Amino acid sequence: MKLMIAIVRDVDDEPMMDRLVAHGYRVTRVASTGGFLRRGNATLLIGLEEDQVDEVIELLRGTCSRSDSEQHCATVFVVDAPYFEQI
Helix 13-22 to helix 53-63 angle (10° resolution) is 140
Q: What is the pLDDT of residues 52-80, one digit of tens each?
A: 999 999 999 999 877 666 667 889 999 99
pTM, two decimal places: 0.87
Out of 3.30.70.120, 2.60.40.10, 3.30.420.40, 1.50.10.10, which CATH number does the structure's domain 2-80 have? 3.30.70.120
For residues 38-57, average pLDDT: 92
Domain ranges of the chain: 2-80
pLDDT at 48: 94
Cβ atoms within 10 Å, residue 17: 19
